[in-house]
Amino acid sequence: MQVPYKTMSVFGDAQLFRDKLENGWLGVGGVILSDVAGSGSLRSTKVYGSVAYHQMLGLSSLVSAGFNIGWANKRIDQSKLTFPDQFDGKFFDGHQQTQVQLVNNSVSYFDVQAGMNYAYFPTTDIYINAGYSIHHVNRPRETFFGDATESSRVPLRHIGFVNAIYKVNDFVIINPNIYYTTEAKSSELVAGLNGAYNLSGDGAQQLIAGLYYRTGDAFIPMAGFELNNLRFTFSYDATISSLKNFNNYRGALEFSVIKKGFYGVGADRETLCPTF
């Protein structure tokens, strides 16, 4: 029986010095991520913290730059693995002795990311931003074999995106975006949009829907609901590539809950993004 991947994460971010800096502020955030690959033979745990400075440029532009540093751990259960020399011509025999020997069953390292973002908002109904970041800036070493070769280092990962928010009218806001990432010889391109419909008139209740496409791989429909700044969304990766022959068109399910606006009344800065 095939066992699906399972990924869980918790994250949050906040503004600091909003009342101290007239045209800027400091942003801090953190994320905890846990991932189990397949039958549980590979487990990943990551804890990251981030700091970024945001500076207004005039009345309609914002530039941001920051970095992220964290700790990552990967563990493997060798008893759940099989290797080529355990194949008898028909089946993999996990009880047969293998010549593959792992030096470590657990590896940990510090990881560093850095990036910047530019936003342009000529009116209260339009918000456009673009960003670029580099992951694994310090090229940490990740291997269960204990080798110190260059191939054991994690390659740099480059990420770029363009995002827009457009308030069509008092009832509809759309959010088109495109995302591209590349690492070593692998790359991914995702594009699409989502939209929110104002159910209550004051924005307290919103219906959310959208559709994305990962080139050459999958369509990703999403749907959700927002109630008093608490947003629930559900998305599903519908595989259309040759991988459908292995997962029977079953892709990844994702469910998220996001709470917005923990700040007290009167403490917020002027809103830059279009809102209801």
Average pLDDT over residues 151-168: 95
pLDDT (0 to 100) of residue 78:
75
Of 14-18, 198-202, 214-218, minimum mean pLDDT range? 14-18
**Is 62 inside a domain boundary?**
yes
**Is 14 inside a domain boundary?**
yes
Q: 39 or 228, which is more confident?
A: 228
Average pLDDT over residues 248-275: 72
| 34-66 core/surface letters (b: 16 or more CB in 10 A; e: else) | eebbeeebbbeebebebebebebeeeeebebeb
Position 240 confidence tier, pLDDT thresholds 50, 70, 90 = confident
pLDDT (0 to 100) of residue 145:
80
pLDDT (0 to 100) of residue 226:
96
- Which residue range is the domain that position 44 belongs to? 1-85+98-106+119-124
Average pLDDT over residues 206-217: 95
**Is 238 inside a domain boundary?**
no
Average pLDDT over all residues of the chain: 87
Query: Residue 259 has which token pair?
Result: 């709470």
- Whether the pLDDT of residue 247 is over 90: the answer is no
pLDDT (0 to 100) of residue 148:
73
* 223-230 long-range contacts, CB within 8 A, separation 24+: 226/196, 228/204, 229/259, 229/260, 229/261, 230/257, 230/258, 230/259, 230/260
**Is 2 inside a domain boundary?**
yes
**Is 25 inside a domain boundary?**
yes
**Is 188 inside a domain boundary?**
no
pLDDT (0 to 100) of residue 270:
57
**Is 263 inside a domain boundary?**
no
**Is 197 inside a domain boundary?**
no
pLDDT (0 to 100) of residue 233:
97
Q: How much of the chain exceeds pLDDT 90, in percent?
A: 60
Residue 192, classed as helix, strand or coil, is: strand
pLDDT (0 to 100) of residue 241:
82
Average pLDDT over residues 46-75: 95
- Whether the pLDDT of residue 98 is over 80: the answer is no
- Whether the pLDDT of residue 87 is over 90: the answer is no
- Whether the pLDDT of residue 265 is over 50: the answer is no
How many independent structural domains does the chain possess? 1
